[in-house]
Amino acid sequence: MLPNIVKMKTAYITSIVIALLGLCSQAQAADPQPKDPMAWNKIEVFKINKEEPSAFFIAYPNFESAAKPISIDEIEHIYDTDSYKLLNGEWKFLFLKSVSDVKDDYFSKNFDDSSWDDIDVPNSWQSKGYDVIFYNNTNMEFFYDENGKFRKEFASPKESGKYAEAAMHPFIPEGNRQVGVYRRTFTIPENWGGKNVFIRFNGVRTGFNLYVNGKFVGYSEDSFTPAEFNITKYLDKGENSIAAEVFKFTTGAYMEMQDMPHMMGIIRDVVLIARPGVYIRDYYAPATLSGDMKSAEIDFKVWLKNSLPSASKGVKLQAYILDSAGAIVGGKPLFEKAVGEIPAGGELEVSESAKIDGFKLWSPDSPNLYYVVFKLSDSGGAELESIKADYAFRKFEIKGRQLFLNGKRFIIKGTNRHDWSPDKGKANDFAWMKKDAELMKRANINAVRTSHYPNDSKFYMLCARYGLAVLDECNHEMHGFIKNPPLDNDNFIPPSVDRMRNMVLRDRNVPCVIIFSLGNESSLKPTRGHEAMAKAARALDSRPIHSEPECRVINDGKAGGVSDFFSPMYGGVDRMNNYLNDLKNEKRPYFFCEYAHAMGNSIGNLKGKWELIRSNKDSLNGGFIWDWVDQGAYLDCADGSGKKFISDGRDWNGEKRASAQNFCMNGIVFADRTYSAKYFEVQKIYQDIQIDDIDAAKGKLKISNEFLATNTDNFTPVVVVERNGEPIAEKTLDAIKVAPGESAEIQIKLPEFDASQPGEYFYTLKFLRNRGSNFAKKGEVAAQNQFFIKKVDSGKSPRLSSAPKFSDENGKITVEIDGGGKVVFDRKSARMESYSMYGKDIITSPVEFDISSAFIDNFVRGPLARDFAKYGLDKLMLKDSSCSTEIDGNTLKVSCSQLWVTDAGDGFRLKVVYSVLSSGAVKVDARCIKINDTPADLPIPRLGLKMGISKDFDKVEFFGKGPFANYSDRLYAANVGRYESKVSDWYENFSRPQDTGNREDVRWLSLRDNVGCGILIASCGKPLPMSVLPYTQAQIAGAKHPYLLPDSDGTELRVAWKVRGVGNAACGPRTREQFRCKFLGAADWSFEIIPLASNSDAGKEYLALPEFDSKVVFEPVMKNVDESMYARKLSGKNISKGAKISYSSTDPKWAPKADTMLTSMSGEYSCHTFQEDNPYLIVDLGGEREVSGAKIYNRTNTMSERAIPLVMLVSKDGKNWAQVWKTDVLRPVWTAVLDSPQKARFVKIMVARNSILHLRGVEIFGK
């Protein structure tokens, strides 16, 4: 039974016509409707006495004021006109735990609220310490009781077509009925006499009752679009009081289950608006451009409202287009019209059309902005008011499977954006919005999806000026019910349509808005609700409609639904290839509404995705990265320092409430708008001038111009030649002319330079801005790419004549080196223990095998961290070690061997040969050999060596990919160069501390102290991944937040064979195969440790590495080495030859014609069941045998993960079964060794979940 609530109506409004009119029970009527005390708990009541939604515009008392242009910074002050009184600022506030605690006196004009707290508006009340921030990603706080238990009323049935009880009869549970009461006073300006006074709340979560001078005015839901009320008749002369009763949750919150921290209150501007007796209520002014886009016809519709008690006659309406400087285009109105009679209390629609030419088009790279101004005068010619809004001329089109803007191919280089600030949560001050727009443009982002609700109108004004196209998304998400969507129910259709109308009517004139979206993740299929919302939107505007659920249901090679796009989430390269290759009948253009999930240290393989997009411009159209900014909030540090840190979902919900942890930290930028290295990768991949290699060493390149309106000759091309990471020549080239949307092959001539000196030569072609803009300065780099020229060898290396002296006693090998230094090896652990030089300890912690890390979010939320533990890699055991010495010419060789084994007997043999010279130079030749059944694609984040460096050596310089962190699948933005910094600069402050700081293709890296002494780490053979961090991986993994990391006690230096790419597996594809640490047999890598004297040049030392007489050459090993003495062995022989086999089911569509499970095991798999609970196979041995175990061979190609968890059961009679073995570890082959032999005739191999069984083979062992 549901809790005791007001009985819901059973006759819901289903007529779309009525919904389009915005009607609902207790909606607008001729006379104000009374308060419904339970409106917040009724799905059918979503507004009372609320003004009809209308376009966003600014009202002015006269045309002269309206004609003034609005600059970027002036957007913050758009309400500074005589027609507005801003009510932002200090309000009185009372937070109540239940709506039942609200007293009617709280709303009375003369109520004494002096004991209440003060709160600044706009703000989220959680930011001021009230209540809790709740974050769950999909479910709402009211899905759980006070003990954190999921309420059964919100559980969706497994059966399709059935709904959660709460979805059928929505209600807000008793414990989730908190209220915030806001109060303040105001006076009406004297010059507002005789005018209508409206109040507009631009955003309130999640619903509120409004009171003026103690009288109920109205009610509103839909947190992210304006709620406007006419309060004229409620006003008194002099001081007035206003009170807002804000409900934390209403039944409208069922449609606000977005992936965001839920923070409540008055979150956007509150403003009073003065309008004359006859005023402009709304307008619509779409422009239809001519074929050549040099002229346009504007179809004007203007709705005039007469609030006077008598009819209005003879008012005059004029329409103007003004340029960005405020000058009237054409010098006169586009139209002026004397309006006929408007009845008392009535409304009149004025329709006119006008032609215009001579304008400039709006596009992201050329955001030419105009204004539309409507001037209203009375019959005597006196001005009544003027209204103004941004206006632009542009043409967005879908042609086949392509997008076009102004006739040019438009590729979405987008990001999703939540309204968010770390100080106020869902309240987003203008400074944060402006910073977002600037950073987006600097990152070459050209489009924003307002996920998952309409953003503040000020942000759209910024987008129009900076040049950001907008996919405008409805405030609609029902994620908690996504599998059984209530949008197929009548009760949710009217409020859903109302939300769509609110957005479309507000934003249909906004020039940067190119697409309207029906919302996000409300279902896994098209619904009646989606159809109704789309129909409502199309009745109001011609923009195309976006809806994501359509692409989840595929029939006959295409999706259905109302969307004008095929727009999925995630899936990366594979998802795009599926669209290209398999959906032959899908004719709609493809773009990702979400992709490249940016959680933590992430955004892997963005280049690979865009290589596919750019090579399929006839059908792939880009996408929106998820998402722009980490949704983290400032909280006080627990250390009592008085400082603040950026918190996340791990800090908010409390122990009893279900939390999605730090899944809200998905931003390209941090919450405070600083950023990490992934920002630069987005910037590089998205750059609008693509520079590609044809024969780059000879200066032959391909230039592709992805701008819409800007020729590349608007930029100055400069080429810089570098040797060993340092510039040696520079040249400004003649202008390179490539028209928008075009490509050209060019031949550039490099500047003269000395190419005889040893080292590596690169050149970088840069396009510099010829002029500044609102987001970049003149001379800044707009696009660049680096190319290899050649390498000149350095010639013969110096040779030392004698080997160093060493002692071998007490389990330590101590090598004496020049200058009083020494290198110490530990025999027992077989590792280099320390290195000292110049009287200083430099390497202070041993050189150790390194396959783990403080897992990044993609590894924690993806399968890697789980599989790492399942394989037992977190508990590797050192089973064997040895250490030997040998003098070979001028070299002392110390050979170390370690055997690292898992409990299952898999693992690694690590061999490291240290070749030591008397100078202190040490060559490190490392080999890692996989043993036994260790798979090729092992879930490890890296393979290498690590060591501890004294904290005194904190100055780092390197020659490699940089200057910022980069990984094998995120290195396109990093150029090979010579860079220097402090070790601490390599650590990036992700909210949840995780591994970072890697640099790829490092030739050498040096660490020095304050006097310039130190060591050089030089790659041998090929450049290697290296990193330095001021913390160990254990310290990073052990800290909840960066401020809780201990003071650094040294540097952890890591030199790897390979570091796994970051991937996107927190929500999307895992690291692609070519970027994983995948190998069979052996992996080898080498580097040298060279002492650096004070003020020596590390680059020159690298070019003169010493010669070692001893050469270490590892023999090729192409397969795993047998170390079977450490593996669990099967006893007996294969006793399943000739046995009978049966299956829980056989899917004839996929099952092979010949069953080779017990014989040749040919093909990728030998059986294929239907998807079912606990699919299995049974081997009948023909009689009772002694079973010791089995070898089970997994499917060899794809979807092998379906086989886990895998169990083995035995039975004597085929009826009574005993489980004897289980694994959660995914392997190509399982060796199932039973703890003790079992008497059995039947052996069952079963997947212990709902899945499909498709193994390649089984061998039962015993006697």
Task: List the CATH number of the domain containing 1010.
Answer: 2.70.98.10
What DSSP state is assigned to residue 1131?
A: -
Q: Which residue has the tokens 């896994």?
A: 524
Residue 749, pLDDT score: 95
CA dist., res. 1251 & res. 1168, Å (int): 11
Residue 29, pLDDT score: 40
In a domain, 146, yes or no: yes
Q: What is the pLDDT of residues 277-335, one digit of tens each?
A: 999 999 999 999 999 999 999 999 999 999 999 999 999 999 999 999 999 999 999 99
The pLDDT of residue 731 is above 80 = yes
Helices 493-507 and 528-540, axial angle in degrees (round to 10): 30
Residue 28, pLDDT score: 39
**Single residue among 728, 762, 792 that ends a domain in this structure:** 792
In a domain, 122, yes or no: yes
Respond yes or no on whether the N-terminal peptide bond of residue 452 is cis (omega within 30° of 0). yes
Q: What angle do CA 15, 18, 20 make, to 5 degrees?
A: 110
User: What confidence tier does 140 reach under pLDDT thresholds 50, 70, 90?
Assistant: very high
The pLDDT of residue 400 is above 70 = yes
Residue 1261, pLDDT score: 97
Of residues 799 and 669, which shows the higher confidence score?
669
Domain match, 1091 and 1205 both: no
CA dist., res. 858 & res. 600, Å (int): 8
Give me the residues paired with residue 653 across strands. none
The pLDDT of residue 12 is above 60 = no
Closest CA to 1143 of 1164, 1130, 1131, 1158: 1158
In a domain, 558, yes or no: no
In a domain, 996, yes or no: yes
In a domain, 675, yes or no: no
User: What confidence tier does 158 reach under pLDDT thresholds 50, 70, 90?
Assistant: confident
Domain match, 286 and 338 both: yes
Residue 30, pLDDT score: 58
Domain match, 813 and 786 both: no
Residue-range definition of the domain harbouring residue 368: 278-391
Closest CA to 692 of 741, 743, 636, 619: 743
User: What confidence tier does 15 reach under pLDDT thresholds 50, 70, 90?
Assistant: very low
The pLDDT of residue 1205 is above 80 = yes
pLDDT mean over 132-148: 94
The residue type at 217: V
Q: What is the pLDDT of residues 39-91, one digit of tens each?
A: 999 999 999 999 999 999 999 999 999 999 999 999 999 999 999 999 999 99
Strand pairing class (620-625; 590-595): parallel
- Residue 475, class by beta-carbon neighbours within 10 Å (0-12 exposed, 13-18 middle, 19+ buried)? buried
Percent of the chain with pLDDT over 90: 89
The pLDDT of residue 1042 is above 50 = yes
In a domain, 193, yes or no: yes
Domain match, 1181 and 1201 both: yes
Domain match, 849 and 932 both: yes
Task: For the chain, count helices (H), then strands (E).
Answer: 14, 72
The pLDDT of residue 2 is above 50 = no
Respond yes or no on whether the N-terminal peptide bond of residue 236 is cis (omega within 30° of 0). no
In a domain, 1137, yes or no: yes
Q: What is the pLDDT of residues 274-283, one digit of tens each?
A: 999 999 999 9
Domain match, 35 and 171 both: yes
Q: What is the pLDDT of residues 876-913, one digit of tens each?
A: 999 999 999 999 999 999 999 999 999 888 899 999 99
Residue 1095, pLDDT score: 85
The residue type at 767: F
Strand pairing class (1218-1223; 1206-1211): antiparallel
CA dist., res. 125 & res. 557, Å (int): 49
pLDDT mean over 125-136: 96
Residues 6+ positions from 986 with CB-CB distance below 8 Å = 956, 965, 996, 997, 1027, 1028, 1029, 1030
Neighbours of 100 (CB within 10 A): 9
* The two structure tokens encoding residue 600: 């933590």
- Residue 974, class by beta-carbon neighbours within 10 Å (0-12 exposed, 13-18 middle, 19+ buried)? buried
Strand pairing class (196-201; 227-230): antiparallel
Closest CA to 892 of 1001, 996, 805: 805
The pLDDT of residue 248 is above 80 = yes
CA dist., res. 652 & res. 124, Å (int): 14
Burial 794-810 (b: 16+ CB within 10 A, else e): eeeeeebeebbebeeee
The pLDDT of residue 453 is above 60 = yes
CA dist., res. 412 & res. 426, Å (int): 26
What DSSP state is assigned to residue 8?
A: P
**Single residue among 792, 814, 845 that ends a domain in this structure:** 792
The pLDDT of residue 919 is above 80 = yes
Question: Tell me, what CATH number does 359's domain have?
Answer: 2.60.40.10
In a domain, 1092, yes or no: yes
Residue 160, pLDDT score: 80
3-state secondary structure of 784: strand
Percent of the chain with pLDDT over 70: 98
Closest CA to 536 of 485, 571, 496, 580: 496
Per the structure, the count of domains in the chain is 5
CA dist., res. 520 & res. 546, Å (int): 10
Q: What is the pLDDT of residues 196-211, one digit of tens each?
A: 999 999 999 999 999 9
Q: What is the pLDDT of residues 16-38, one digit of tens each?
A: 333 333 333 333 345 899 999 99
Domain match, 932 and 1058 both: yes
Closest CA to 137 of 668, 862, 866, 631: 631
Domain match, 201 and 332 both: no
What DSSP state is assigned to residue 967?
A: B
**Single residue among 391, 419, 452 that ends a domain in this structure:** 391
* The two structure tokens encoding residue 539: 């009745």
Domain match, 1016 and 1156 both: no
Q: What is the pLDDT of residues 1206-1220, one digit of tens each?
A: 999 999 999 999 999
Domain match, 289 and 259 both: no
Question: Tell me, what CATH number does 1164's domain have?
Answer: 2.60.120.260
User: What confidence tier does 1122 reach under pLDDT thresholds 50, 70, 90?
Assistant: confident
Are 347 and 308 in contact by the 8 Å Cβ rule? The answer is no
Name the maximum alpha-carbon separation found in the chain: 111
Domain match, 216 and 339 both: no
CA dist., res. 1236 & res. 1222, Å (int): 14
Which helix or strand (DSSP H or E) is residue 608 part of?
A: helix 606-614
Q: What is the pLDDT of residues 638-672, one digit of tens each?
A: 888 899 999 999 999 877 778 999 999 999 999 99
Q: What is the CA radius of gyration of the chain?
A: 35
pLDDT mean over 850-866: 94
Average pLDDT across the chain, whole number: 94
Domain match, 78 and 214 both: yes
The residue type at 892: L
Residue 3, pLDDT score: 34
